[in-house]
Amino acid sequence: MKLNTKTRYAVMALADMSNFPRKKPVSLRDISLRQSISLLYLEQIFLKLKKNNLVKSIRGTNGGYILNKDPKEIKLSEIFLAIDEKVKTVGCTKESKKGCNGKSTKCITHDLWDELELHINTFFEKKKLSDLAKINQNKIQ
């Protein structure tokens, strides 16, 4: 059970941006250098973030991206949604209406995974981008 890099990098990149004044565009090149993330990969990620209105883009020299909202207002769940990362603990979701293992009944663990999903999603709803402050960049002990 692990997070994909796209989502992790998205959070990292946005957290990076939130360390700078919101008015000036931040270029992907700079983020790439500071956070050691491939520039080409960042481009892919930011297209999604833009489509989902988390950032706006400014082209040309001295261009870059700008956060659309104050970091205090940006929930991690929004970022996850933008990147398409679904916290789906299991195949038999409520949406599928199909039951687990192709049967019309819930599998024996169905409610458990539902509960876990809710648990995790609640965590991401509560966390804001602003919670990842510079203070986090300490040495590992």
Site residues (vs DNA, CB under 7 A): 2, 4-6, 25-29, 38, 40-41, 43-44, 46-47, 50, 57-65
Side chain identity, residue 59: R
Contact in structure between 56 and 65 (CB atoms under 8 Å): yes
Side chain identity, residue 89: T
Per-residue contact track with its own copies, 42 to 81, x per CB under 8 A?
Answer: ----------------------------------x-----
Residue 83 falls in which region: left (phi positive, over 0), alpha (psi -120 to 50) or beta: alpha
Our measurement of the distance from residue 100's CA atom to the centroid of its chain's CA atoms, rounded to an integer in Å, reads 29
Nearest CA-CA partner of 7 in 87, 83, 75: 83
Per-residue contact track with its own copies, 99 to 118, x per CB under 8 A?
Answer: x-xxxxxxxxxxxxx--x--
Using CB under 8 A, pick the residue from 36, 40, 60, 61 that binds its own copies. Answer: 36
Q: Which two tokens stand for residue 60?
A: 């040309």
Coil, strand, or helix at residue 37?
coil
For 108, half-sphere exposure in the C-beta direction (CA atoms, 13 angstrom radius) is 0
Residue 81 interacts, among its own copies, DNA, none and using kind-specific CB cut-offs from 5 to 8 Å, with none
Residue 83 interacts, among its own copies, DNA, none and using kind-specific CB cut-offs from 5 to 8 Å, with none
Residue 111 interacts, among its own copies, DNA, none and using kind-specific CB cut-offs from 5 to 8 Å, with its own copies
Chain residues binding its own copies by CB under 8 A are 1-4, 7-8, 11-12, 15-16, 35-37, 76, 85-90, 94, 97-99, 101-113, 116, 119-120, 123, 127, 131-132, 134, 136-140
